[in-house]
Structure 1
């Protein structure tokens, strides 16, 4: 029997608390990376060409840029999953990704008519969001049994204030994302750039991912459990802010929410970078 099948059987039959990343988890990460990389290249690299290159037409460019930035951060994250030695260092993000895939799957069903059914990327989109809402939580449930939950000799604790603030922010963003997903018209009327019911729900899915992974810091005090999450967020928000500069004409500058959204992202990126540098020096 091949090594990965042996490891999978061990994971199913026993709870071995050695904090390892199971081979099946690594393989799932390796399989997902090319899909995310392709989405990143199309959406972030060519946001004006979604009609010919993507599963549906997205206008204006800021929405595909946000999606592309998220997928770019996802490439980094799943690469780290495929190379990580300890499960707990990547575990919290799986909860957010699970929530995100559910949002994407439901949005696809609700807005089926908006997709380009003849495009190859539509088939890839449907495949990805038919499989991952089950696959990602299954991998998390299987691999979580290996986590010792213990603070390592070289690890440090996240400050309680950071965990409380992160958890509070995560809760607020997650609840807001659910509300916007259920009632996208609330977003359409006030958002800084034009969104449709479909793109409003897609963006709500990205907000939910952000909210859940931030809320997950309440569950684990180990800095090592947050490090890769924070690195992924730094990359994702940096890409988004570069995208803001690229397509600034998409924004309604007379809308106060424009300055709140952009300013909030800048502040969050700065605070997250300060946290990362501070924790790494400990």
Structure 2
């Protein structure tokens, strides 16, 4: 499944990043301004990192917390597509789009259900436990992103009037779907402290956040500074990038120390 999905994400990210002004011709639908295309592409870059990791993973617990986020994200995009079919181009890209999103949420959900008993709940052979305050902090950031994303999806017309750049009802729902990813992943931090269970996902989040930062710098002119959501969006991205980066650096340093000692940093079960 991961090997089948990854090429779609690679092609989509390439088209959105390098041809943002030709999305009506080359992508599934015309996207304007390019900042919306870049935001969706950033989610695809994180998805590439995640699914390549899924294809290589040998233990279910290392990838399991990413599957609910994929189901929610892909399911939301399927609903948005069905609500706005008149906005889509009748081309090969749309055929690939509708095929991907009509199947992915159901296939991923089925695979996660089939694997549900494959995680024993114990740390990996060499593992560390994330601090409680860090997990709660990231859960709060994720919760804020999810609430904003859900509001944008349910009330796209209202979101279009206040968001950091111009949106249509369709791009408002797509943007809301992208924001939902962080919240769905981070809620699992409240019940699972194992770094091995989030290491791949944090890498995917950092790749996506780095792409968003670059997108903001490249498309600075797309931002509408008379709207209060512009500084709020930038603050949320900045807080997420700093938090993920700090937790990753701390856990990786502890993990290297544990590997040198040939031990698990915290012996007791981390859930």
Structure 2 residue 57 is the aligned partner of structure 1 residue 99 = no
- 8 A contact 2:162–2:228 mirrored in 1: no
In structure 2, the residue matched to 1:180 is: 152
Query: Under a length normalisation based on structure 2, what TM-score does the superposition of the two structures give?
Result: 0.90
- 8 A contact 1:47–1:61 mirrored in 2: yes
| Deviation (angstroms), 1:261 | 1.3
| Deviation (angstroms), 1:267 | 2.7
Q: Which of residues 47, 51, 57 is equivalent to 1:78? A: 51
Structure 2 stretches lacking a partner, 5+ long: 255-271
In structure 1, the residue matched to 2:209 is: 237
Question: Residues of 1 paired with 2:202 and 2:216: CA distance?
Answer: 21
- 3-state SS, counterpart of residue 140 of structure 2: helix
Q: C-alpha root-mean-square deviation of aligned residues, in Å?
A: 1.3
Question: Residues of 2 paired with 1:45 and 1:214: CA distance?
Answer: 30
Q: Describe how 1:182-197 pairs up with structure 2 within 5 A.
A: 182-197=154-169
Question: Residues of 1 paired with 2:49 and 2:97: CA distance?
Answer: 20
Q: Larger relative contact order (C-alpha < 8 A, sep ≥ 6)?
A: 2
In structure 2, the residue matched to 1:69 is: 42
Query: Mean alpha-carbon deviation: is it higher for 33-42 or for 184-193?
Result: 184-193
Q: Which of residues 97, 100, 103 is equivalent to 1:131? A: 103
| Deviation (angstroms), 1:35 | 0.5
- 8 A contact 2:138–2:243 mirrored in 1: no
Query: Under a length normalisation based on structure 1, what TM-score does the superposition of the two structures give?
Result: 0.87
| Deviation (angstroms), 1:177 | 2.2
In structure 2, the residue matched to 1:210 is: 182
Aligned residues: 254
Question: Residues of 1 paired with 2:64 and 2:74: CA distance?
Answer: 16
Question: Residues of 2 paired with 1:172 and 1:251: CA distance?
Answer: 21
